[in-house]
Structure 1
Amino acid sequence: MYKLPHFTTENQDDILDFMHKNSFVTLIGFDGEFPVATQVPVKTVIEGDKIKLIGHVMTKTNHCKAFEQNPNVLAVFSGAHAYISASVYENPAVASTWNYKTVQAKGTIRLMSPAETYQVIKDLTNHYENPETSPAAFNKMDESYIQKHLKAITGFEILVSHLDNVFKMSQNHSAKNQEAIIENLERSDDVMAQAVAKEMKK
């Protein structure tokens, strides 16, 4: 990671808040020859001083097989990002850059039993679909349909051993430069750029 002191935070609450808000991660493993990756939603769970990531993957895939062979994995959480043009700086004759936020969580993955996987799918569905009002709620599905599709899915739990972060939002620039960057991003039609402007204001 591109880690410099002014682009990182030691505030655990800020890091966990970012992980909760950006739960669609890139999950990376190693099959013994190449890295393998997949994009999946995860739930960040805090149990005492332990941090766990809960989710599921398709069973008959290269990444699931890699997780069986090697439990060491990396989950990359990504937020809004945007090109930052040096043209708005007080001194524009310097390199432009990119602002972004990311968290990397390293840990060991445990693949779950069918019963545990069932609960993971239920919890995930109920998180996004109101169990009482949504026609797509978990309890509205036929049990035979659930069991049929459950055979193709494996739940997982990652025990996080190390967290790294980069929250690069032009902290190394003057207040005047930061104001100019924000104004420039806010004028953009790019929703990512506008989101970065909001992050910088915080």
Structure 2
Amino acid sequence: MHPARRFHVTDPAVLRQRVLDHPFAVISAVSDGQPVAAHAPVLPSGGGGPLSLRFHFSVANPVTKALLAGSPALAVFTGPHAYVSPDWYGIDDQVPTWNYISVEAAGLVTRLDDAAMRQLIDDLSDHFESGLAPKPIWKTAKMTPARLEALYRGLVAFELRPERFEGIAKLNQDKPASARAGVIDALDATENGVALAAEMRKMDS
């Protein structure tokens, strides 16, 4: 987490929305004294009440072993990000930097029971398939029972209730408005900077 407090984001609603917008997280843990990490799509609980984050890994994943052994977990969600050239500021004596948005959730996890694991698989597919409309939503019912049961046997699902849930929005808040405007215009002209420019505009509005 970036140490500069001006970049920190603590509003739970904002953080939850960023998890929804960028749900593919890196989840890290410690196994036998060594760091391990893996990617997973994460589904946050609905608004209201304590936040929980659900995800799953294969039985063979080293992170699964670590979490089952009691390791705390750190989930990192990365939003829009891009290189920022000092030439874009229009002021002297500047250096390159990287603007980005990210969210961190840390705490202990609980293994979900079989019924909750199956529900998570359905919830994940429903959530992501809904974004593919008008295509009909894929359902596990389309699979043969034997194939589906084999899939379930290879998965372990978890729930993380964060003890720490905070984010970073490093968007040149430490620069004059004119310099930020120059960065926004330059990012808009790059292939991967448009989303980041939009986030900077929202902060300035």
Q: Same fold (TM over 0.5)?
A: yes
Question: What is the letter of the counterpart of residue 143 of structure 1?
Answer: P
For residue 201 of structure 2, what is the amino acid of its counterpart?
Answer: K
Q: Take 1:142 and 1:50, find their aligned partners in 2: how far apart are those partners?
A: 36
Residues of 2 paired with 1:28 and 1:10: CA distance? 21
What amino acid sits opposite 1:124 in the alignment?
Answer: L
SS at match of 2:163: strand
**Residue 195 (structure 1) shift:** 1.2
CA contact (8 A) 2:126 2:138 kept: no
CA contact (8 A) 1:54 1:120 kept: yes
Q: 1:124 deviation in Å? A: 1.1
CA separation of 1:34 and 1:170: change in aligned 2, threshold 3 A: same
Q: Are the structure 2 counterparts of residues 110 and 185 from structure 1 closer, same or farther at C-alpha, using a change threshold of 3 Å? A: same
DSSP-derived class of the 2:67 partner: helix
Alignment of 1:136-147 (within 5 A): 136-147=138-149
1:139-181 CA-to-partner distances (Å, cap 9, x unmatched) read 2222222111111011111111111211111111111101110
Measured after TM superposition, the shift of residue 3 of structure 1 is 2.8
Deviation of the 1:93 alpha carbon: 2.5
TM (norm. structure 1) is 0.91
Q: How many residues align?
A: 200
**C-alpha distance in structure 1 between counterparts of 2:88 and 2:172, whole Å:** 13
The share of aligned pairs that are identical, in percent, is 25
Amino acid at match of 1:140: K
Q: How does 1:59-78 map to 2 (within 5 A)?
A: 59-78=59-78
1:50/1:160 contact within 8 Å kept: no
The C-alpha deviation readout for 1:174-202, integer Å capped at 9, x for no partner, is: 111011101111111x22x1111111111
Counterpart amino acid of residue 16 in structure 1? R
- Once residues 115 and 36 of structure 2 are traced to their aligned partners in structure 1, the CA distance between those partners, rounded to angstroms, is 26
| SS of alignment partner, residue 80 of structure 1 | strand
Choose the corresponding residue for 2:161, options 159, 162, 185: 159
2:11 maps to 11
Name the SS of the counterpart of 1:78 in structure 2: strand
Paired position in structure 2 for 1:182 = 184
1:113-132 to 2 correspondences below 5 Å = 113-129=113-129
Q: Distance in 1 between matches of 2:189 and 2:47?
A: 43
Any unmatched runs of 5+ in structure 2? none
- Of the structure 1 ranges 162-171 and 2-11, higher mean CA displacement relative to structure 2 is found in 2-11
The answer to whether residue 193 in structure 2 is matched with residue 200 in structure 1 is no
Letter of the aligned partner of 1:13 in structure 2? A
Query: Which residue is 2:21 aligned to?
Result: 21
